[in-house]
Amino acid sequence: MEKEKYYISTAIAYTSGKPHIGNTYEIILADAIARYKRALGYDVYFQTGTDEHGEKIELKAKEAGITPQEYVDKVASDIKRIWDKMNTSYDRFVRTTDPKHEKQVQKIFKKMYDKGDIYKGEYKGLYCTPCESFWTESQLVDGKCPDCGREVKIASEEAYFFKLSKYQDRLVEYIESHPDFIQPESRKNEMLNNFIKPGLQDLCVSRTSFTWGIPVDFDSKHVVYVWLDALTNYITNIGFDVDNPTDEFKKYWPADLHLIGKDIIRFHTIYWPCFLWSLDVDLPKQVFGHPWLLTNNDKIGKSRGNAIYADDLADLFGVDAVRYYVLHEIPFANDGNLTYDLLIERYNSDLANILGNLVNRTISMAKKYFNGIVPSIGVKEDIDADLINTVTSAITKTTEDMNNLRVADAIDSVFEIFRRSNKYIDETTPWTLAKEENTERLQTVIYNLLEAIRIGAVLLHSFLPETAEKIFAQLNTDLTDFSSIETFGKLESGKELNDPSPLFVRIDKEAFLKELSQ
């Protein structure tokens, strides 16, 4: 049977500078979802990449004394390096300076123009250069850009406009009749009430004030507005063509999920649907605007001097510790907070204590009591059923959470298995059973613990792949896919375990922070 497809994308990151941990959170979140869907049996296509045009980048390159292309090549490779370092399993890393994308954007612009959805006019407005956005007077906050708080300038230029207004009623109707299109729900109301219903103005989709962009091919002093260029990445890179879309496009589009940050929901749920309708293309099934990661409860910003980078954190704590922290600490709809202090606390309590100790203790006991051979089930007691129930319901709950994009809840559901297993050790006290030479009972206890750990690791793999693989290696098992966890008890008795080695070594917080501040 052909697998059901699942197309997930992240935003494409600006190549204005190195991405901070907030930007990196997004690719890790997408990765956990993509891996989980693959584990469930979907044919996943996972796309990410970089957004490389615009005035800001042109200025940055000038400051650096290099060409914009040299500048974006450097930053894009840094972004890709970080995505790779964080062990993200994207299928394609796309760049908006790819000539194939550029060609398609020109064709798209022309098609919209020929259709009458793009027309030539004059633009006068308040423009925020860093955000590449025009604003109306009423959208400003204290006279400044509502997104970044910086000065805006009056800008006027001959420009092409896209007829957003034409699609306003259709957009309201669509959003209201597709309650899952914008997630979380609160964002949907914000879009409808604050942006769409008050009235959509036609959107300026070309610029003449700088040159680092895709030229409008029939009027080359104009470059295409960076958001029209950027948003179309989702279709151009899977083979969209205005005349002749490829089979890949027909297979994967519409995307199942555009995963983006809450600050760019507006672009994805207003401009993007209207652009797609103009091209007679279906809309993506869902746009999820994830919350932000803050540091010390403050927005992370390159210019604020408080940027923390994922690769630095990974060097200090390990890739999976960083993945765990960001996935666990940012709930579905509320911002999460990151400090070294909090990260070390989570690391010690969840990774070193709950998970690391459990695996280490269990394998060590199996070594000690059974020479490292997985025992078979002996005598059962009621308490076993409770452990097994917890494991079974955690599997169901994790999948439910993932289907609802509640990734922080899902990882917590997986940890429920590890917490319950630790409790099971306290309840059954295997060392007493050993002392009493109650081998039959001890066999069951150790078997159940090993199997609970294996099942936990199968689920954990989407979130902390490297850790899960280390656990599989210690358990010496090939039973690592979802079909192996349909029932409790598949771990093969008689197999020899490998030697235990600590997964996460406890960190001495005070000493660590002291050293860091020096």
Out of 6, 7, 25, 369, the only residue in the binding site for ligand ME8 (CB under 6 A) is 25
Q: In whole angstroms, how close is the CB of 51 to ligand ME8 at the nearest point? A: 3
Distance of CA 410 to the CA centre of its chain: 14
Amino acid identity, residue 173?
Answer: E
Binding window for ligand ME8 (CB under 6 A); candidates: 11-19, 360-368, 405-413, 424-432: 11-19
Question: How far apart (Å, rounded) are the C-alpha atoms in residues 72 and 158?
Answer: 28
In the bound state with ligand ME8, the residue whose beta carbon lies nearer, of 299 and 441, is 299
Which tokens go with 414?
A: 């997986």
Q: In whole angstroms, how close is the CB of 130 to ligand ME8 at the nearest point? A: 10
Q: Contact at 8 Å (CB) between 518 and 493?
A: no
In the bound state with ligand ME8, the residue whose beta carbon lies nearer, of 273 and 430, is 273
Work out whether 293 is an interface residue with ligand ME8 (CB under 6 A). Answer: yes
Work out whether 231 is an interface residue with ligand ME8 (CB under 6 A). Answer: yes
SS3 466: helix
Sign of CA dihedral 186, 187, 188, 189: positive
Work out whether 288 is an interface residue with ligand ME8 (CB under 6 A). Answer: no
In the bound state with ligand ME8, the residue whose beta carbon lies nearer, of 22 and 125, is 22
Work out whether 269 is an interface residue with ligand ME8 (CB under 6 A). Answer: no
In the bound state with ligand ME8, the residue whose beta carbon lies nearer, of 340 and 418, is 340
Out of 8, 22, 317, 415, the only residue in the binding site for ligand ME8 (CB under 6 A) is 22
Could you give the C-alpha distances from 374 to 210, 365, 435, in angstroms and in order?
68, 11, 19
Q: How many residues bind ligand ME8 (CB under 6 A)?
A: 18
Binding window for ligand ME8 (CB under 6 A); candidates: 8-16, 194-202, 353-361, 420-428: 8-16
In the bound state with ligand ME8, the residue whose beta carbon lies nearer, of 257 and 363, is 257
Out of 30, 159, 300, 310, the only residue in the binding site for ligand ME8 (CB under 6 A) is 300
Could you give the C-alpha distances from 377 to 125, 386, 430, 443, 490, in angstroms and in order?
74, 16, 14, 6, 11
Q: Contact at 8 Å (CB) between 470 and 505?
A: no
In the bound state with ligand ME8, the residue whose beta carbon lies nearer, of 299 and 495, is 299
Question: How far apart (Å, rounded) are the C-alpha atoms in residues 417 and 391?
Answer: 5
Binding window for ligand ME8 (CB under 6 A); candidates: 12-20, 213-221, 409-417, 434-442: 12-20
Out of 7, 8, 13, 370, the only residue in the binding site for ligand ME8 (CB under 6 A) is 13
In the bound state with ligand ME8, the residue whose beta carbon lies nearer, of 286 and 443, is 286
DSSP 335-372: -EEE-HHHHHHHIIIIIIIIIIIHHHHHHHHHHHHHTT
In the bound state with ligand ME8, the residue whose beta carbon lies nearer, of 13 and 460, is 13
Q: In whole angstroms, how close is the CB of 46 to ligand ME8 at the nearest point? A: 15
Work out whether 263 is an interface residue with ligand ME8 (CB under 6 A). Answer: yes
In the bound state with ligand ME8, the residue whose beta carbon lies nearer, of 230 and 327, is 230
Which helix (H) or strand (E) segment holds residue 13: the answer is: strand 5-14
Question: How far apart (Å, rounded) are the C-alpha atoms in residues 29 and 33?
Answer: 6
Q: In whole angstroms, how close is the CB of 25 to ligand ME8 at the nearest point? A: 5
Q: In whole angstroms, how close is the CB of 457 to ligand ME8 at the nearest point? A: 28
Q: In whole angstroms, how close is the CB of 205 to ligand ME8 at the nearest point? A: 14
Work out whether 398 is an interface residue with ligand ME8 (CB under 6 A). Answer: no
Residue nearest to ligand ME8 (CB): 261
In the bound state with ligand ME8, the residue whose beta carbon lies nearer, of 152 and 230, is 230
Determine if the peptide bond prior to 198 is cis (ω within 30°): no
DSSP 205-265: -EE-S---SPBPTTSTT-EE-HHHHHHTHHHHTTT--SS---HHHHHHPSPSEEEEEGGGH
Work out whether 264 is an interface residue with ligand ME8 (CB under 6 A). Answer: yes
Q: What is the DSSP letter of 267?
A: I
Which helix (H) or strand (E) segment holds residue 127: the answer is: strand 118-128
Q: In whole angstroms, how close is the CB of 487 to ligand ME8 at the nearest point? A: 39
Pick from 411, 485, 345, 448: nearest CA to 28: 411
Question: How far apart (Å, rounded) are the C-alpha atoms in residues 358 and 449?
Answer: 9
Out of 223, 260, 283, 457, the only residue in the binding site for ligand ME8 (CB under 6 A) is 260
Work out whether 228 is an interface residue with ligand ME8 (CB under 6 A). Answer: no
Query: Footprint of ligand ME8 on residues 433-452 (CB under 6 A)?
Result: none
Q: Contact at 8 Å (CB) between 457 and 439?
A: no
Contacts of 423 (CB under 8 A, 6+ apart): none
Binding window for ligand ME8 (CB under 6 A); candidates: 211-219, 261-269, 424-432, 468-476: 261-269
Query: Footprint of ligand ME8 on residues 90-119 (CB under 6 A)?
Result: none
Helix and strand element counts for the chain (H, E): 21, 15
Q: How many CA atoms lie within 13 A of 252 on its CB side?
A: 24
Work out whether 261 is an interface residue with ligand ME8 (CB under 6 A). Answer: yes
Query: Footprint of ligand ME8 on residues 115-154 (CB under 6 A)?
Result: none
The radius of gyration of the chain's CA atoms, rounded to the nearest angstrom, is 26
Q: In whole angstroms, how close is the CB of 207 to ligand ME8 at the nearest point? A: 16
Work out whether 51 is an interface residue with ligand ME8 (CB under 6 A). Answer: yes
Work out whether 358 is an interface residue with ligand ME8 (CB under 6 A). Answer: no
Contacts of 190 (CB under 8 A, 6+ apart): 265
Binding site for ligand ME8 (CB under 6 A): 11-14, 22-23, 25-26, 51, 230-231, 260-261, 263-264, 292-293, 300
